[in-house]
Amino acid sequence: MSGPHSSSGELKRGLKNRHIQLIALGGAIGTGLFLGSAGVLKSAGPSMILGYAICGFIAFMIMRQLGEMIVE
């Protein structure tokens, strides 16, 4: 089975045109979501910092738990 490394130890360039297009599409959608929600975030006020901190902490804990499941 061949991995992402070539025989010389360097990484292989394996992205196809489809992958690059989907990465660009995801970036465009993500930017639109951030810019579109700016007005709502502006009207929410300082409580958004607390909301982002709580959601970030929850996401961090979920990622730690997923990492624990992967490690043997």
Mean pLDDT of 39-68: 88
- Is the model's pLDDT at 58 over the cut of 90? yes
Closest CA to 12 of 21, 2, 20: 2
* Residue 6's pLDDT band (cuts 50, 70, 90): low
72: confidence class by pLDDT, cuts 50, 70, 90: low
Q: Please give the angle made by the CA atoms of 15, 64 and 47, to the nearest 5 degrees.
A: 100
Answer yes or no: are the C-beta atoms of 5 and 11 closer than 8 Å.
yes
Please say if the pLDDT value at position 2 is more than 60: no
Q: Region of 71 please: left (phi>0), alpha (psi -120 to 50) or beta.
A: beta
**Mean pLDDT in residue range 6-35:** 82
